[in-house]
Structure formats: C-alpha cells, structure tokens
Structure 1
Amino acid sequence: MEWRDQGILLNLRRHGETSVIIDVFTRTHGRHAGIVRGGAGRRLGPILQPGAQLDLTWRARLPDQLGGYTVEPLRSRTYTAISDRVALAGLNTVCALLTFCLPEREAHAGLYENTEFLLDLLEHPEVWPLAYVKWEMQMLEEMGFALDLSACAVTGATQELIYVSPKTGRAVSRAGAGEWADRLLPLPPVLRGVGDGNPEEIKQALHTTGHFLQNHLAPSLGNRPMPEARSRFLNALNRRT
C-alpha cells in the first residue's frame, strides 16, 4: 500500500531512539500519521518542525496500519515565524487547532488549500490576522458549525446586522436584538467579508469564533479542552495592538 502527497506537519513525537511519529495534514488524504525513520537525527530533525511543508510518500502493508513516511522538505515556516511572537503563536495555533478538530484520514481539500495559503502569509503581519479570522470561519464550516450571517434570524433584514446568536450562529440585526442585545455576540463587518479589519474588529471577530469553537465544536469532540495555543495567540495579538 503506497501513496504520495504534499502535507503540512502538525506535530510530532519521539518514537524509539531515532524515529518520530509525525501527524500531517495532507492535500488528498486528510490528517494522517506515520513513522519517519531517522526523523530525530541531524539531517531530518531541524526540518521536521510544525508548519513545515513536506513532500510525502507513505507506505504500509495494510491500509489501516500506521505505516511509514519518506519525507522531502519543500519549505520551512518556523524560520519565517520565529522572529515574530505573533506569527509564531499563530503558526502554533493553526497546527494545534487542526490536530484538535480534524478526524483522521478524512480529506478536507478546501481547508487544506486555505491553510497552506494562510501559513504562507506569515511573513505579512499586516494582513495575517484578517486571513486567520477567515480561516477560523472556514474551519467551523468544515466541521459542521457554519455561521449564517446573511440575514437577521428574527426579522429577515439584511441591514444593520451587528450581532450573532450564540446558540444558532445566525446574524441578528439591531432592531431584531431588542432586549436580548446584551446576550448576543458581536458581529464585526470582517466576519461578513467587509472591510480590512481594524484591531478592534479582529478582536471582536475572534471572540465570536472562539465562542463557537469552545461551546459548539469542542462538545462535539467529546468536550476535550481547547488547545492553549489559541489563548497564547490572542494574548500576543492583544499585546501588539
């Protein structure tokens, strides 16, 4: 059994003295683990870092076995991010969230393409936070928790949509909110794809997407705790702004 693909390294752990088990988000095979012989050695050790883009060949005798990888590096993203606290925290968050939510061996081609695009933007801090917000929105949609922000859930209006229902993920207008406004989540324009996203809008957007990650996605995955990497990323982003 053999296939070849490209993938993004999400995490790794030591296996024996010289090998590692890597967890990779691949273009056509989804999140897929495998052993890299010699992965802890001098040649491959510096290459196998979270976020690395790899050319992969996977082999196993049977399809349900862990199998082994032969890897060739395409590009490293750690070196791009390591000099910037926000970029490094963002890289770690993307890898942690994908590990957290993606089922094994289930293809998510659209999310893969967007993740590769997002990570290649790490060296552009002026646009990266907005791209990250859009990525979290897509991840929620891929996992079955898409937000419906097209019209007010109460009145059907398409104007003055400034809230999101924390229960349904649907937009709510100023008029439709009424006395429930203080119980609703903010809906900044960037969540609807409008504007470039100033720091306050980015903060509001991540508060809203974070609610659905914590209170909708996480329970569907057995109430596992959310990765701490996301909180560290938000703290780094807030310190910068």
Structure 2
Amino acid sequence: MLIEAEAIILSVRGYGENDALVRALTRDHGLRPGFVRGGRSRRLRPALQPANLVTATWRARTDDQLAQLTVELTHSRGPLHAEPLAAAALDWLTALTAAALPEAQAYPHLYDGLAGVLDAIEAGAVARDWAGSFARYELLLLAELGFGLDLHSCIVTGAMEDLAFVSPRSGGAVSRSAAAGYEARLLPLPAFLREGGAAADWPDVFAGLAITGRFLERDILTDHRANPLAARDRLVERLKRAVA
C-alpha cells in the first residue's frame, strides 16, 4: 500500500520513547492512521501539530498493516495554538473529525469544509468572523455521515417559509405557525444555518451550536470512552467569555 497526498493532521499521540501515532485526513483517501518514526523529536514536533497541512506518504506491505508515515510540512498553523480561543477551536475541530469519521473512506466535502474553517480561523481578526462556520461544519459532518437535518421545509406542514425552530427529536425544521404553543420544546433555528451566505450575530451562533451539538452528542459521539465533547464545551465557554 502506497498513498501520497496532502493531508490535515488531526491527532498525534506518543508511541514508545520517540515515535508517534498520527491520524490525518486526506481529500481522496479519507482518514488515515500512520506510524511516524521519530515523531516526538524536536525536528518533527513542529510539523505534527493538529490542524497543520502536510504532504504525507503512507507505506505498508498490506492494507491491514499500520502504515509507516512520513510527512513534509506544507503550512503550519502552530502560532494559533498560542492563542487560547483559536487553540480551543483547533482542538475541537480536529478532535471531532478524528472521532467521527471511519478510516479509509473519502469525504471530499468534509475535507474542503474543514480546510475552509481552519483558513477562516487563521484569517479572522476576531472570533465573530469565524464562529458561525463551526456550526456549518458540524451540520455538514452530520449530513455526510447520514444524520442530516431537514432545515428546508416544515416537518408539520411542508411549508418552506417562516421556518423558525428545529425539533430536537426529528431534526426537522418547524415553521413559526406550526410551533405555536410548543416553542419551549423546540430549538430556535437561526437563518444562517439554512442560508450558507447569511451573516450570524452571536445569539444566532450560539443557537446554531445548540442545534448541532444536540445531534452530534445523540447520533455521532456516542462512545464516551473517546468523547471529544469536553473540547467543544471549552470552546463554547471561551466564545461566551469573549462576547461578555
């Protein structure tokens, strides 16, 4: 097995005294684990940081064998790890992607989405410039894994207008008229989550994150032994403190 591809580093953990086990996401070959000889060395540590972009080569005798991985740093996002809010964002994005995706299955839309969010964090002068992209990425991940939410028409009436809520059970949108009397049982639906180009203010951002967080916890991150939701909680708390 030989794979050469651009990849986003998702997770790194020590293996032995000086080596590392790395999981990285490629556009056409999906999530791939690999063994990096000397991965904890001073030379390779800067390249093997979550969210970095690398040129990666996996080599193995068989598809079932853990591949040996070599990397060449293409673009470093290391400086972002020194900024508490940006670091929390990178921790969550990479932990979510590593935990949610099965290995060796291509998700090109997710790769592009993740790359776009990481670019937005790097370019954004303030958190509000990129915070809404988190909920959009989480929504995309749910859809790509078969748990997409129907936010385009009301699950009660079929109407496509005045959609204001989401059912926490079905994940379907509910119009304002159909929700009358049941608003407290539903999740508010911000416009930006339905309309990709729509701007999002902070109340809308947190409303969007409440929706996606509900379904990520219920449908995707069900194995609490490897649950990255703590990283998400830290990020949301940091965002709330940034707003206050």
CA deviations on 1:103-138 (whole Å, 9 max, x unpaired) are 111111110011111111112134211222211110
1:212 to 211, 215, 226: 215
Q: CA deviation at 1:151?
A: 1.3
Structure 2 unaligned spans of 5+ = none
Match of 2:159 in 1: 157
Q: CA deviation at 1:175?
A: 0.9
Structure 1 unaligned spans of 5+ = none
Give yes or no for contact 1:57–1:69 (8 Å, CA) kept in 2. Answer: yes
The 5 A counterparts of 1:143-182 are 143-182=145-184
Whether 1:26 and 2:20 are equivalent positions in the alignment is: no
Give yes or no for contact 1:10–1:95 (8 Å, CA) kept in 2. Answer: yes
Q: Distance in 2 between matches of 1:195 and 1:34?
A: 39
One-letter amino acid of the structure 2 residue matched with residue 31 of structure 1: L
The 5 A counterparts of 1:1-241 are 1-79=1-79, 81-123=80-122, 124=124, 125=126, 126-193=128-195, 195-219=198-222, 225-241=227-243
Q: Distance in 2 between matches of 1:188 and 1:121?
A: 20
One-letter amino acid of the structure 2 residue matched with residue 93 of structure 1: W
Q: Distance in 2 between matches of 1:218 and 1:239?
A: 26
Q: Distance in 1 between matches of 2:166 and 2:9?
A: 34
Give yes or no for contact 1:100–1:227 (8 Å, CA) kept in 2. Answer: no
Q: CA deviation at 1:31?
A: 1.0
Q: Relative to structure 1, is the Cα distance of residues 16 and 225 closer, same or farther in structure 2, using a 3 angstrom cutoff?
A: closer
The residue matched to 1:47 in structure 2 has which SS? coil
Q: Structure 1 length normalisation: TM-score?
A: 0.94
Q: Relative to structure 1, is the Cα distance of residues 68 and 213 closer, same or farther in structure 2, using a 3 angstrom cutoff?
A: same
The residue matched to 1:61 in structure 2 has which SS? coil
Q: CA deviation at 1:237?
A: 0.5
Give yes or no for contact 1:12–1:21 (8 Å, CA) kept in 2. Answer: yes
Aligned-CA RMSD value: 1.6
Q: Distance in 2 between matches of 1:110 and 1:149?
A: 19
Q: Structure 2 length normalisation: TM-score?
A: 0.93
Give yes or no for contact 1:89–1:233 (8 Å, CA) kept in 2. Answer: yes
One-letter amino acid of the structure 2 residue matched with residue 107 of structure 1: A
Q: Distance in 2 between matches of 1:93 and 1:71?
A: 23
Q: Distance in 2 between matches of 1:196 and 1:78?
A: 28
Q: Distance in 1 between matches of 2:46 and 2:175?
A: 51
Q: CA deviation at 1:13?
A: 1.2
Q: Distance in 2 between matches of 1:91 and 1:38?
A: 24
